[in-house]
Structures are given as structure tokens and as C-alpha cells.
Structure 1
């Protein structure tokens, strides 16, 4: 039994070392090279459209809108927002769908390295990758990757593909209104309308548009745009 136990421990140790090694290689590689494809894209039942663009070729209005809509503490946290996580934990204790209180960094880690959906195992992996992209990539690269791999519509991935689909022009010249419409649709890109939204979604988009000057004024995107 002792020999079997030692054998299993060696297998486990090798598995852990393999996992750590592979994940770090991927994180380091994607600091420099565009992410070619993600599990979400592979599992998408629709034909996909994507177009990678450097952050400098994406209008800052979109980053401002995303920070206002998704993660106002993006530049000040270290990948995790304890307050948001605490609120999510209280909601989860009530039962129902698991909520994660995810930051942009966590969403980027999920979109690049993992799969969509909930569950504590996936959230643990998400935390692992979030730690390393914060440590190795930095905020500017995280935002660049996020804006390029996020699903912006049915079969549409990234800011450039989304801008072309909805507005017929490059992501390099998004107006505050256009950027806000794209940002508020990101949590549910297959269900939320970017063009001509109504009701609550239209109002939410208007609130985010009004928040863009606040993001710039208060330096909430200072870690991206010096």
C-alpha cells in the first residue's frame, strides 16, 4: 500500500508541475502574441468573425465605457475586487445561479484560457490565471486582450469585428454612444441589442455614456492611458 501511495503521489506531483509549466508558458506567450482562438470560439455553433487590433487602434472610448460598465476599480485592484466578491457570495448563499463578481481581469482569464459557465472548479482555475496575467501582463495588456477576445455579438469577437458589424466602421473611431452600446451588451452579447436598444438597456447605455468623462477625469483608466 505504501508503494502504491508513493506512486500516486509522484503522479500527482508530476501532474501539478505539468499544469503549472504549461499554464505559465501560455501566459508568457500571450503577453506578446495575439490570442489565436479561445474555447468559447471553438464551441460557438455559429461561424465566427474576429479581427485582432492593437490597443492603440481601438478608440479609448471603448475602454472607458467598459471600465464604467464592468469594473470601475480596474486600475486599482490586483485582479480581484473583494467587495464585489463579497456581494456575490451573499447572493450565492441565497441559492440559484452562481454569481462571480468578476473583474475585467477575471473575465479576460476566463475568455482566454477557460470556458464559459459557472462552477467552483472553473472559478478556481480562473483565479489562478487571473493572478498570473496580473503579474506578467499588466493592466494595459489585459485590456488589450479583453477588447480583442470578448464576444461582442453572435459569432462576433473583439472590438474591431463588433464595430464593423454594428456601425460599419473601424473600432479606431467609436463615439461615446457607440462605445457605451457595445460595453453594456458585453455581459449577454447574444441577447442584448447594440443597435437601437430599448427599455432598461437603452437607459443603462445612456448612463455609461455619461460616465465616460468621469472615468477620464478621475483617472480610472490611468493604468492604460498615461
Structure 2
């Protein structure tokens, strides 16, 4: 993954173009905690260095835990517990599978989608996530 990141960064610098999306959770965490949203070569380099440091010092489970506590879910709401209470009026531990999928589906577009929204593309994303949860037997393992 680090090699792929370095290759993508080299190509972006060579083309003076910085594509959006396809960031890992660790990259998003580094950006959310310490960096501006600017898409400059300097910021991308700092993101790569911070990402590498996070992955060196923290295991994947801890990185995900921190990410879920700081990521934006829209409407000025940050963190999955706060989002759960804001949108569904209950603790994240008490969410149904569909409610959890709705929160997850918002993450790529928190300023455009709402966990309580009915946008067709959003609902399709919710269903894809719910099916993945089912296939991964996530529901049985969590309950």
C-alpha cells in the first residue's frame, strides 16, 4: 500500500494533478486530524508521512476507532456516537443494521448525503453496505 501511495504521489506531482477520493482510512485520519483540505504537493507529502507514522505506531483497529470518533457525518456532527444520537436519538451500540449502514453510507459525501435522507443514490449505497455486512456475517458476530 505504501508503494502504491508513493507511485500515485509521483504521478500526481509529474502531472501537477491531484485526484480526489481513493484515500485509505489512515490517510483520511491524518488529513482530518492535522492537515488542511488543500490539494497541494506539500500537503500530499505531509499526508503520506503522517499516514506512514500512524500505521507504524497504531494497529488497524485503533486507527479505525480514532477515525470513527473524528470523521464528519454531516450537519456539523463529528464521530459515530454523536452522529448516532443526532440522527437516530440513540447510542451507536443500539443502532439497527440499517441505521449503521446509513451512517456508513454517508461517509464519502457527508456534505451532500444525510443518514436520514432518501436520495436514490444514497439508498443504493445503504443497501450495498447492508449486503456486505450480511455476506461478511457481521450481524451475527456483533450480536
Alpha-carbon distance in 1 for matches of 2:21, 2:10: 8
- Quote the offset at 1:116 in angstroms: 2.1
1:137 aligns with 2:58: yes
Q: What SS does the aligned partner of 1:157 have?
A: coil
Q: For the residues of structure 2 that align with 1:107 and 1:161, how far apart are their CA atoms? A: 19
Does the 8 Å contact 1:81/1:103 carry over to 2?
A: no
| Bigger RCO of structures 1 and 2 (CA < 8 A, at least 6 apart) | 1
Aligned partners of 2:128, 2:2: CA distance in 1, in Å?
22
Higher helix share: 2
What's the counterpart of residue 51 of structure 1?
A: none
Is the CA contact 1:148–1:157 (under 8 Å) kept in the aligned structure 2? yes
Which residue number in structure 1 is paired with residue 115 of structure 2? 194
Match of 1:110 among 23, 31, 37: 31
In structure 1, distance between residues paired with 2:90 and 2:68: 16
Structure 1 position 178 matched with structure 2 position 99: yes
Residue 220 (structure 1) aligns with: none
The structure number with the bigger radius of gyration is: 1
Q: Deviations over 1:49-97 (max 9, x none)?
A: xxxxxxxxxxxxxxxxxxxxxxxxxxxxxxx376688789989999976
Helix, strand or coil for the counterpart of 2:22? coil
Compute the displacement of 1:100 (Å). Answer: 4.8
Report the alpha carbon displacement of residue 160 of structure 1 after superposing the two structures with TM. Answer: 0.8
Counterpart secondary structure, 2:20? coil
Normalised to the residue count of structure 1, the TM-score between the two structures is 0.53
Question: Does the CA-based 8 Å contact 2:72-2:79 persist in structure 1?
Answer: yes
Moved more, 122-131 or 95-104: 95-104
Corresponding residue number in structure 2 for 1:26: none
- What do the CA deviations read for 1:107-143 (whole angstroms, capped 9, x no partner)? 1111112122422221111111110111101111101
Q: Per the alignment, do residues 175 and 129 of structure 1 end up closer, same or farther by CA in structure 2, a change over 3 Å counting?
A: same
Specify every segment of 5 or more residues in structure 2 that has no aligned partner in the other structure, as ranges.
none
Match of 1:37 in 2: none
Matching residue within 104, 109, 124 for 2:45: 124
Equivalent residue pairs, number? 139
